[in-house]
Every structure is written in C-alpha cells, then in structure tokens.
Amino acid sequence: MEIHRVPIQKLRRHEGYKSYGATMAKTDYLLRDPGLIQPEAIEVVLETLPIVAIRQGRSWEYISGHRTFIVAGSVLGVEAQVPIRVIRNPGAQRIRLYIAADIMASSIITGISRKSDLGELLTELRRRDNVTHEKLFVASTQKTFASALSATKETVFRSRKARR
C-alpha cells in the first residue's frame, strides 16, 4: 500500500456504499459531535483508522474509512490534506469486502457496547495521563462530554458505587 496526501474534498465515496445508504443513514453512532475531538488528534485517528482508497481515473474513491472521512472533514474542514492508503487494482470482490468490513465489521469489532464502559475508560485515561486526554478531546466537563454523546452524565460516568 502506498500513502498519499490529498485534500478531503478530492475524495469520493465508492459507489459500492450506495447499497448500504438507507441503513447507514439511520445508524446511530456514539460520537454525534465531532467537535469533541481535538484537530491535532485527527492525524493519529487517520493512522489508526485509515481511509483506504483506489484511483478511478483522475479521482480518488475511498473503499474504507467512511467514519474517519466524515470526522476528519468535520473537524479539519474539506480543504485539509489527509493521508490515505492507496490500493492498486484490488478487484471488484476485494472492494466489496473492504466496504462491508468498513461498515459492519469495524463497528462490531471496535465498538463499545455500553456508554458507561466508555466513561470508565475516559476516567482512567484522564486519571493516568491527563495531558494525553486533553490532546485527544476538547477540554470539557463530564456533563458536556456526556451531552456530546447524547447521554446524561450519570449514564456515561457512573459512580464507583453504581459499578459494583
């Protein structure tokens, strides 16, 4: 795989995503407010959850990294240059596999099933390494953080008594 840097606005979603469009439109993601993520952290997000693309004539079409594409565009703006991983001639079946894995498998494999588990991880990160926490997320209170996830503070950040 090669890595190229391209403006977000030059990337297009591969047509293979169209068949999932209606379902994707109603998929409920935990992060509803991309403004919660620090712009500096997006570069790391792009490395850990990359946008994978193919060349189609003069344009780039991504075949994986749909949520990363949306978050990067929302946080950085569409003019921002982002790294993409480029695959040459993957074939139609491989493209379908990338798209399906991006939409379904990545949500199942990397998702956290309970908001309270996320709250516990966030609390641990802040306790152990507040500097990293602040570089990843926009400074906020527990209440505003939970609100950005469309939840109450009590849902995300349960007290120690409630966890037992």
Degrees to nearest 5, angle at CA 136 with 98 and 67: 25
Task: Round the average pLDDT of the chain to a whole number and report it.
Answer: 89
Tens of pLDDT, residue by residue over 88-141, are 999 999 999 999 999 888 878 888 888 888 899 988 998 999 899 889 988 788
The pair of structure tokens assigned to 95 is 């493209």
Q: How would residue 161 be classed by pLDDT, with cut points 50, 70 and 90?
A: low
Tens of pLDDT, residue by residue over 136-147, are 988 788 998 888
Contact indicator for 136, 38 with CB cutoff of 8 Å: yes
Q: How would residue 162 be classed by pLDDT, with cut points 50, 70 and 90?
A: low
